[in-house]
């Protein structure tokens, strides 16, 4: 277990220093090794949290607002988020060239749109 955490930590450092494109993120998320799956999950969840917290800081996330990209329920699984991002890139071929954080926000917005009362 400790060895796996060290491997994930080693992978996460280069990811933090380099902004991924949507295509690079998709490639990472299609790998099946434990370290790549963990890095993909961490990257997607980290961006989702960052976007959520940014919107919260500029006006709240208690309902649809201008600039609100997506609304995730507490029970939303990371795998569902990853699938949404991969689907967005597949359905929008040019999106793979965007920054990964943009692709994540757009993919989650398409799959998990805000509804009145969210």
What pTM value is reported for the model? 0.74
Higher pLDDT, 84 or 2: 84
pLDDT at residue 72 in the model: 85
Give the residue among 21, 26, 100, 107 at the shortest CA–CA distance from 70. Answer: 107
Per-residue pLDDT tens for 83-96? Answer: 999 999 999 989 99
Asked if residue 23 lies in contact with residue 89, where contact means CB atoms within 8 angstroms, the answer is yes
Give the rounded distance of the alpha carbon of 63 from its chain centre.
20
56-93: pLDDT as tens digits: 666 655 544 445 678 888 899 999 999 999 999 999 98
How confident is the model over 11-60, as pLDDT tens digits? 444 545 568 999 999 999 999 999 999 999 999 999 998 887 776 666 65
- Inter-residue contact 24 to 100 (CB < 8 Å): yes
CA 42-26-58 angle, to 5 degrees, is 55
Which distant-in-sequence residues (6+ apart) come within 8 Å of 116 by Cβ?
63, 64
List, in order of start, the domains of the chain with CATH numbers: 2-111 (1.10.890.40)
């Amino acid at each position: 277990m400790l060895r796996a955490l060290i491997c994930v930590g080693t992978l996460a450092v280069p990811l933090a220093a380099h902004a991924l494109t949507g295509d690079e993120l998709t490639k990472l998320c299609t790998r099946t090794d434990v370290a790549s799956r963990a890095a993909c999950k961490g990257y997607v969840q980290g961006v989702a949290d960052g976007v959520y917290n940014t919107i919260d800081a500029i006006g709240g996330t208690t309902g649809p607002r201008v600039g609100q990209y997506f609304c995730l329920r507490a029970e939303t699984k990371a795998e569902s988020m990853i699938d949404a991002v991969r689907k967005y890139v597949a359905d929008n071929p040019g999106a793979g060239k965007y920054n990964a954080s943009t692709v994540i926000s757009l993919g989650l917005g398409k799959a998990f749109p805000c509804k009145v009362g969210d």
